[in-house]
Amino acid sequence: MSFREEYAEMRRLIEGRLGTYFNGGGIEEAMKYSLMSGGTRLRPILTLKFCEAAGGAPDEAIDFACAVEMLHVYSRIHDDLPIMDNDEIRNGIPTNHMKFGADTALIAGDALQAAAFRTILTAGEMFPDEGKGAALAAARTLAQAAGERELCKGQYLDTRPKTTTTNRELKDIGDKKTCAILRAAGEIGVYASQGRREVDPFYFEVARDYATNLGHAYSIRDDIIDAGKSAKKEGQITIVDLVGVDQSKKLVGEYTERAISALFSAHWIGPYAFLLKLADTMGERE
C-alpha cells in the first residue's frame, strides 16, 4: 500500500467512526456538521500511527483519535467566530456560525470539547485494570494541550494587538496553536497502546519531539502557500514576511529533518515508515 493509499485508509477509518457520534438534532446537528466537514484528519491519524508504532493496532486507538479530532474541531469552530477570525468558509463549506449562528456555534464548540474528554475516558474503560491509568494520562495530556498554557494561550496571543513581531514570537504562537494538539495526538497514541501492553517510556518524548517539529514545518509551509494571497487578514504577519520565502523553505526542511531524526532515536516495536513519509509530505505540500 502506498503512502497516499494508507493515508486515505486511515481517513476512512476515522471518518467512519466519527460518523457514529452525535446523531440527534439541535446542538448535536451543529456539532456533527463541523466534525464531518472534512479536513486533513492529520491529528487523529497521528494518534493511530503512534499507537501502531508503539506496538498496538489502529483500531485500539480509534476512539482516542476521535477525541483528539473533536478537540481540534472545537478549536476551529471558535477560531472562525466573528469575534475571532470571522471566517465564512472552512473546507469548502460555510463555517459553523454561518450555518447555525454564532450562539449555536459557540455552544457546539463547547460541547465538542467536553465530548472529547468523555470519549477518551469511556474508551479507557475497555482497558484491563492494570492499563486504566493510561486513559487517565491520555485525558490529562489532552487537557494540558487545550488549556491556558498551550492552545488557549496561543489563541490569546494571536488576538493581541501586534506592535512588533519577531521570529520567536511567531514560533511561540505556532507552538501553542498548532504544535500543542499535534503533540497531544502523538502522546495519546502511545497511551492507547500502553493501555494493553508495556511500552518504552521514551516513546512519549519522541512523539512530542516529532510532533513539535512536524507542526512547525506544517505551519511554515502553510505560510509559504498563503504568501501573496489577497485574502490575507489585515495586520497578519507570518514568518514569510520576516525572512522571505527561501529562508522559510529552509526552515521547513530543518524542522522536517528534526522530526525524522526524532523517530530514528527510538527502538519502535511496530511500523513507523508512515510517520517518516508523513514528515516529508507535510514539508512538500503545494
pLDDT means over runs of 10, the chain (286 residues): 95 98 97 96 98 97 98 97 94 97 98 98 95 97 96 90 78 93 98 97 98 96 80 73 92 96 97 96 76
**What domains does the chain contain, in order, with CATH numbers?**
3-284 (1.10.600.10)
**Partners of residue 93 on adjacent β-strands:** 90
- CA 207/CA 186 separation, integer angstroms: 5
- CA 259/CA 229 separation, integer angstroms: 29
What residues contact 245, with CB distance under 8 A and at least 6 apart?
Answer: 224, 227
38 φ/ψ angles, rounded to the nearest 5 degrees: 95, -150
pTM of the model: 0.95
The per-residue pLDDT for 74 is 98
Local structure of residue 94 (DSSP, 8 states): E
C-alpha cell at 11: 481517513
Q: Are 206 and 50 in contact (CB under 8 A)?
A: no
